[in-house]
Amino acid sequence: MESSPITTTHIALVSVPAFSHQVSILEFAKRLLHLHADTFHVTCIIPTLSSSPSKHSFFFDSLPHNIHCIFLPSVNFHDLNNNGVSVEIQTQLSASRAMSSVRETLVSLSKTTDISALVADAMAPEALEFGKELNILSYIYFPCSTMVLSVCFHSQNLDEEVSCEYKDHPGLIHLPGCIPISGRDLPDSMQDRGSLAYKLFLQRCQRYLNGHDGILVNSFMELEEEATKAISQHGNGGDYPHVYSVGPITQSGPSGSKSRCECLLWLDKQEPNSVLYVSFGSGGTLSQDQIDELALGLELSKQKFLWVNLRAPNDRASATYFSEGGLVDDDDPLHFLPKGFLERTKEQGLVMCGWAPQVEVLGHRSIGAFLSHCGWNSVLESVVHGVPMIAWPLFAEQRSNAALVSDGLKVALRAKMKKPSVVVKEDIVKLIKGLMEGLEGQEIRRKVKELKKLANSAIMEDGSSTRTIANLANKWKNKHT
């Protein structure tokens, strides 16, 4: 008797014009396909900007054959870009402006294939309306922590309970299952309650609570157990949607270079656990004063360091989030560093203004710690590789993440600003020595090694996140049976 052919289940994803978000949702798709080979086909619909860089094409070129990306025409962005508008507003409004194209694409897809589920990025929740329209299961993909999701779920209550600006609130903010958090550490969108960013944030949070089949969060039960349990208890009473912990979802696959890049070759020559890796992500920038203080702090620490993705100074921390900008002098791209710094530290460290393969760097034996902006992708990559952190948040929800890793998980030391918006070199030296050499650093190292084991367990064959994804996969496969 012949076996019946395998039926392919089609899933549609909707992302936003931000590479870190695109990586996260597509890595989730890769994880789904890895666990359920040949039974799924994924189409990812991606709004674009005229300023979208081509430097990430290697990532899309390396995707499996059963993940297909549709890049939508560029949305009109000129009234927002370079106008002091926050990253959150730019991301959400650019996604919103692409929704008519998203709907058109989904309707066209639905005419040729049975779509079982729609998964939309947390910054594009409007797309879930199309799931209802097409009678398909609809989910939000939340690329941040469960704690930040809890902030979103409680945002309306907080708005009613707290009368002042959150940054001026005298006490700590208490959320079920989460560490108490300072109002100053809530996401940027909450820091000006009269702003458009705050209005859009509250609207987005309301959509998280209603009108879909669940939220996929890029975390894992063992990392944020109490927060996950607290949300689940509310969910059982019908207050919250079902939350699926599917992480850690981190970047995998080709790094974009067939040969080992300069920084990996340099790391090969260093002693085990001896190098501090410094990166503020794909879009973070520092002021001139802060670049000077960080450079001198690295030098004075006498610690080996690898400083990558360094951009020309800018007083807006997110100034280059949507572009490749930041370099102003091709002949001397690092001219803005303190005079003589590169010469004095040529045996101590390596500074790069360009891209570095972060996953390979964090997995390298010579890396001893990570000075990070605390983007959630970077936090998870650090945890997966068991690398302790210096938490140095810049924008978006990064201060919330910094509070979680330093005060909650206790796998990081946090940079504190003494001057207005500047961490001074003396404190930078203390942070580096405390983490790389001190007793406190030893305890942090022990804790992050424990989390590394838990992260690996979560994605093993019978791990908590693997089981969660299996449950989702079965639901999606059975949608049309």
In angstroms, rounded to a whole number, what is the distance separating the alpha carbons of residues 268 and 130? 50
Tell me which of 21, 41, 212, 364 is the catalytic residue: 21
Instruction: Give Cα separations from 265 to 59, 186, 255, 273, 350 (angstroms).
Output: 22, 39, 14, 16, 11
Give the CA-trace dihedral at 121, 219, 188, 234, to 10 degrees: 90
In angstroms, rounded to a whole number, what is the distance separating the alpha carbons of residues 409 and 457? 17
* Phi and psi at residue 16, to the nearest 5°: -135, 165
In angstroms, rounded to a whole number, what is the distance separating the alpha carbons of residues 321 and 398? 14
Tell me which of 10, 41, 121, 212 is the catalytic residue: 121
Is 21 tagged catalytic? yes
Q: Are 396 and 188 in contact (CB under 8 A)?
A: yes
The token duo for 275 is 């190098």
Which residues, in sequence order, are bridge partners of residue 181? 173
Q: Which has the closest alpha carbon to 443: 478, 477, 402, 406?
A: 406
In angstroms, rounded to a whole number, what is the distance separating the alpha carbons of residues 287 and 315? 5
Q: Are 454 and 423 in contact (CB under 8 A)?
A: no
Supply the DSSP symbol for 405. I
In angstroms, rounded to a whole number, what is the distance separating the alpha carbons of residues 83 and 2? 64
| Intra-chain end-to-end CA distance of the chain, in Å | 22
Amino acid at 349: G
Q: Which has the closest alpha carbon to 244: 131, 335, 340, 117?
A: 117
Name residue, tokens 């294939």: 113
Provide DSSP, 58-70.
HHHHTS-TTEEEE
Pairing of strands 304-307, 181-182: unpaired
How many Cβ atoms are within 10 Å of 30's Cβ, its own excluded?
19
Which residues, in sequence order, are bridge partners of residue 74? 48
- Active-site amino acid positions: 21, 121
